[in-house]
Amino acid sequence: MLNDKELMFIKDNLYSDTDKLLLKYHKIKDGDIDYMYCINQIKLRKKFSDKFPFLTKRDDFLFPLSLNLEQSSSEYTAMYKSLLVEKGESVLDLTSGFGIDDIYFSKKASRIVCVEQNKMLVDLLSYNFNSLKAENYLCVNADCQEYLMNVEGFDVIYIDPARRDENKNKVFEIEASQPNVLAMMDSLLSKAKRIILKLSPMVDIKQIEKSFEYISDIHIVSLKNECKEILVVINKSVKQEINYHCVDIKSLSFENDDFFLCFNKLSQRDNKLPQRENQLPQRENLQNQRLLKYLYEPNVSILKLGRFDALIEKYGFEKLHRHSHLFMSENLIENFEGRCFELLEQRNASPKALKDIKQANITVRNFPQTVSEIRNKTKIKEGGEMYLFFTTLKGEEKVCLVCKKINL
């Protein structure tokens, strides 16, 4: 799809100013180089260098100009999904799209079949696979439901249903996505040993549990403390309690600060907290709760799952309030799966009590006002080194906790 001259143009101008390139080449006609196409490729590399850090550095890799890459998997989450495939397994992706997930699946799979109804994307993915020297792939231009009827014998089927309706509006209900994986499930299970579904991070975990049988694992995947996707593994041959995985990725190596937490069941979710949390320590009074030295905010994957009881059990935390999802300890807990702060002082949450604070990062937990409403009332600018947590204590007192972030 690119000739040698076009590849060289991209390579030579990968770090050039694209606005200047457009001014220079927009009127130049060259039968060997499509300058506008090449410049748009350079633009996409610059725009998505954080999302695709490896692929954007390759001058021979092409990105689709007509696809919203904001909606596609990142290299980070694609790499994580590849961990769910065993070495040598066969994989069928029924909703290939741009194909970033397939590129990483291909590094583990014995063969990968990529089904996509958009012919342009099929051709693009074939080109990219060839550029990456992959040989174990087959790209198919077809409707996924029709294709599924005529194949069998895969170890894994991966499907990422589109979460927009006919009018391009976002949908969050599982049954509203296209294709409807609920209606396809019997057929999917008859064609493969395992099914991996990618769902919106907005989908409720309880809805997932009610919607699908034979769930073996649910992965809540975050990237740098932003929940990106939920992966559901369905395996009819394995009868077990669901394994819940909370994941936060910070690098492609999955080392250093990345964390993986696995829970076997959610027996104490939804306010069924350990008995000792429901009992106030004898030294405390509801109207005069003693705050401890350090404050902890769990990673968004844990917040999404709601397994706060496990954190209390693991670290011996005390909780500010049943519904605040903030935790305290007298001694610093290192390697905590989230953010850690030193609690400097407690203040009244009124604007008058905060008038000396000009700039701070604001978080709201179990509080009747939004961050925007608080900023409008207090005139506190965003940023700085101070962190303010507007929350509720066990005695239902509305407070502002002034904190300093601890970088562990």
- Looking at residue 206, its pLDDT comes to 92
Beta strands in 200-258 (DSSP E): 215-223, 227-234, 243-249
- Looking at residue 288, its pLDDT comes to 57
Helix axes 18-25, 35-47, angle to 10 degrees: 170
CATH classification code of 69-263: 3.40.50.150
Residues in the chain, total: 408
- Looking at residue 286, its pLDDT comes to 37
DSSP structural state of residue 57: G
- Looking at residue 275, its pLDDT comes to 36
- Looking at residue 264, its pLDDT comes to 66
- Looking at residue 166, its pLDDT comes to 67
Task: Give me the helices (H) in 119-226, please.
Answer: 119-131, 144-148, 181-191, 205-211
Whether the Cβ atoms of residue 71 and residue 49 lie closer than 8 Å to each other: no
205/120 Cα distance (integer angstroms): 35
| Phi, psi at 262, each rounded to 5° | -125, 130
Q: In which order are the strands placed within the sheet that holds 154-159?
A: 137-141, 111-116, 90-93, 154-159, 192-199, 227-234, 215-223, 243-249, 259-263
Q: Which residue type, as a one-letter code, is found at position 258?
A: D
pLDDT in tens for each of the 408 residues of the chain?
A: 789 999 999 999 999 999 999 999 988 888 889 999 999 999 999 999 999 998 988 888 999 987 778 878 999 999 999 999 999 999 999 999 999 999 999 999 999 999 999 999 999 999 999 999 999 999 999 999 999 999 988 999 999 998 776 666 777 778 878 899 999 999 999 999 999 999 999 999 999 999 999 999 999 999 988 999 999 999 988 877 899 999 998 877 665 455 677 766 544 443 333 333 333 333 333 345 678 999 999 999 999 998 888 888 888 899 899 888 999 999 999 888 899 999 999 999 999 999 999 999 999 999 999 999 999 999 999 999 999 999 999 889 999 999 999 987
Q: b/e string for 113-151 if b means 16 or more Cβ within 10 A?
A: bbbbbbeebbebbbbbbebbeeebbebbbeebeebbeee
60/11 Cα distance (integer angstroms): 9
Indicate the domain borders of the chain. 4-47, 69-263, 275-406
